[in-house]
Chain A
Amino acid sequence: MLFNSYSFIFLFLPVILVGFFQLGRIHHAYAAAWLALASLFFYGYWNPAYIGLLLGSIVGNYGFGMWIAKAGVRQEARRKKHLLIAAITLNLALLAYYKYANFFLSSANSLAGTSLSLGEIILPLGISFFTFTQIAFLVDTYQGKVKEYNFIHYLLFVTYFPHLIAGPVLHHKDMMPQFAHTSTYHINWVNVATGLLLFTLGLCKKVLWADSLAPYATAIFDGVNHGMTIGTLPTIYEAWSGALAYTLQIYFDFSGYTDMALGIALMFNIRLPINFNSPYQSTSIIDFWRRWHITLSTFLRDYLYIPLGGNRHGKLRRYGNLLATMLLGGLWHGAGWTFVVWGALHGVYLTANHLWREMISQRHLQWVPGWMGTLAGGALTFVAVVAAWVVFRADNMAQAMVMLNAMFGINARPISLDAVLHGNLLLITDMSGRDLLRLLLPGLLWVWLLPNSIRVRFIKGGAILTAAQIALVLYMLFVAIDQFGSYSPFLYFQF
């Protein structure tokens, strides 16, 4: 079930919301169980076969968590560590089988010239998210940070439907206390109102922006692929158009999903962590990773980069750790070399950014006015991020290189000035370059200039202000809902 579907908006969400608060009046355990069951139904709506896998993962990890916690009580440090390693290994093995087995097998096949096969393995939705969420739980249990072990709350923490499929990556210490709090189960109209506003904004980002840009990005990348088979290169305009269309598409898609998730969760009095903070306004790559998919970055920092040694063992080791973390972060997104290269590219960017700061900007560029540094840093960061998205979106590295070469004028098909003036910018597709420009320009202004959606609040005031907010939300909902009609999943569902 998609957030941007009739069944979710008109049936699932109202029924679950009303049921939750009605049951909350009787006992909060009933309401929590209702929400957990609803979340399982939400997950099973795609493929009921994988509910067993999800439940197995939850029961297994909960069991290991309890085991580790009890071992901790008895001060059996070695046993505790062995249990942790076993539990993490099982989680990673599950992830490796479903997500990476065929990728590694095909890579091995191409190296060894063999044709080994495991057949088609269907990727269970959200497996990366629920696996990582639970690994964090196990590690924190091992470190003695976990205080609550109520199974229903744990089940809800993992399956809670707003975040289950595409995040944010949750941390039990942020979630379990909220599920334990009695006030969560009583309706809070301010939270419902703010949740509705946030949900509406996210829905508009998804269906009005991301879904409008998607056909252009797809057509241009497909056109480049087709061009490669017949020896036609893209022009510089086509390459930049495709790259920018995808850059905006992935942001509006994923941040739209996150806004919706945060809004829905808030209606249930649950606050999910912020996942985006206007990432395209970043002034450096370091800044970018503090603003883009924040919960994943935090997870990778806490559970990969720091355990690897972080910055505690010298600069060389630090940059090695950074590179390894980003490389694995890339692989987390999908089983493909383009994702690995995308991660590695960001690892290199981050390393270069740290080196630049330490060796040049902090020593020799103190005289540069702040605004100039911000502007130059912002522009350079944006171009670097766009270039990396090309690798991320491309079907293979050959296609990525054709796009990048064309973007930077290294090897592009020439285009006449007349064609540019007449807006015939997208010759490799059937689509209008002018129409794309009409989307790209306001889209770029939005991501560069507008404040972040985390500032959205229901504004308490008089009746006129309330009426204005009602009118605005109803108009936005009407426009967004009227775009429904075709299946349009979120990009991050595949990760």
Chain B
Amino acid sequence: MRHAKLFSILVSVAVLGYGAAGFYFLPAATFQGELTRMALLPESLFGWTKPQPALDIQWMRQAAMNEADVLVIGDSFSDGRIWQTKLTRRGLKVRTESWDSLRGVCADFMPWLRAQGFAGKYIVLESIERNLAKDLSKSVACQQMQYHAHAQTDTLRYPPTVSFDVNHGNYGGKLSTGFRTRLNVLDYERRSQAANFSTWTLPNDVTLARVNHGCDLFSHVRCNDALFLSYDQPGEVESSALKNIEILNARMNGVTLIWMFVPNKSTVYLYPGKQFWNEAQQRYGAPNLLRMMRRALDEKTVDLYPANGSHTSTPGYLLMGEEIFKAMQQTATVQL
């Protein structure tokens, strides 16, 4: 009986003590951005505070394959159908498919696409810089289309958040996350005081880096520092990518192909000297999204990429959409 009593009391006290301490720190662990979630840093320090433009859901409609004017094949930057609103507002019907579904633009892509009922004139191939070389080489190597349908392809998409309360806490998260977030804040405060502080590598492939003139470019509380994905490289995009663009261009008979290469967040803010976009523009007329984004930063566009996320903000998406539309106008075979 004595040991059972000791067991019961100690376990109960430990669990209740853990719960009490956990709830004290838990509100800090409420995340809006994927980078703050991965790095376990609070939105109260890294959450964007400037409201973003609202979008109307009617422009985010997914067109059926046989009614689409434009087919977009892309990754998570296209999945939200945000930049595409710049096309749909102008009356174009857009269908967005993912690289995951198509598994590549294979040798028999055009006959396959026509068999699916696509009668449009434009195809936009979108890829984020970090996956670009891989997406292209997979496509080049692929001989036969194998479509893998995703249930989410045709489901409704909702407009992105316009604003959120960076201090809003909730008590529904994991208790350990609250503790770890608090410890990370203490660590950050200590490191960021150092005069020569430039970067801090956090768990889960996140790097915190000091950005020049950061407070002109971000709206979050600690605006001089922003979060980036650690595996985004400062080096150039693999040279094979340009060659592969040419091979894939040759597969697109009877349609106008627009390349949409989205630069990594770190490329835009930390390593803007990369030449890939210039070369892709000169050789293949690909919209120069890096130059467009750097211009936006020169014009002090705030939160082009929010500090807490690896994807662009709504203004960033809309700027990209505008650039793609301009590219379509320039290569137009029909009046837009």
User: Which positions in A face B, CB cutoff 8 Å?
Assistant: 6, 9-10, 14, 189-190, 192-193, 196, 222-223, 226-227, 230, 232, 427-428, 430, 458, 460-463, 465-466, 469-470, 473-474, 477-478, 481-486
Contacts and interface: CB of A to CB of B under 8 A. Distances in A.
A461 B174 contact: no
Given A14-B16, A466-B6, 5 more contacts: A10-B20, A193-B4, A466-B7, A477-B15, A482-B174
Given A226-B151, A484-B174, A196 B3 contact: no
Contact of B150 (A430, A466, A481): A430
Given A222-B151, A483-B174, A192 B8 contact: yes
Contacts of A466: 3, 6-7
B8 A189 contact: yes
B11 A6 contact: no
A473 B176 CA distance: 17
B4 A190 contact: yes
A470 B7 contact: yes
Nearest to A478: B18
Interface in B120-162: 148-151
Contacts of A196: 7-8, 11-12
Given A189-B1, A458-B7, A223 B151 contact: yes
A222 B150 CA distance: 10
Nearest to A483: B174
Contacts of B19: 6, 9-10
B171 A460 contact: no
A232 B149 contact: yes
B260 interface: no
A470 B6 CA distance: 9
The dominant DSSP class at the A interface is: helix
A224 to B, nearest CB: 11
A427 B148 contact: yes
A80 to B, nearest CB: 47
A242 to B, nearest CB: 14
Contacts of B173: 485
A189 B5 contact: yes
A463 B100 CA distance: 57
Interface in B1-56: 1, 3-8, 10-12, 14-16, 18-20, 23
Contacts of B177: 485
A485 B30 CA distance: 11
B254 interface: no
A486 B10 contact: no
B203 interface: no
B11 A189 contact: no
Contact of A485 (B3, B5, B172): B172
B60 interface: no
A474 B9 CA distance: 12
Contact of B12 (A14, A462, A469): A14
Contacts of B328: none
A160 B20 CA distance: 27
Interface string B280-317: 00000000000000000000000000000000000000
A190 B16 contact: no
Contacts of A190: 1, 4
Contacts of A9: 15, 19
A88 B100 CA distance: 56
B53 to A, nearest CB: 31
A175 to B, nearest CB: 24
B226 interface: no
Contacts of B6: 466
A1 B171 CA distance: 15
A72 B20 CA distance: 55
B245 interface: no
A218 B143 CA distance: 33
B106 interface: no
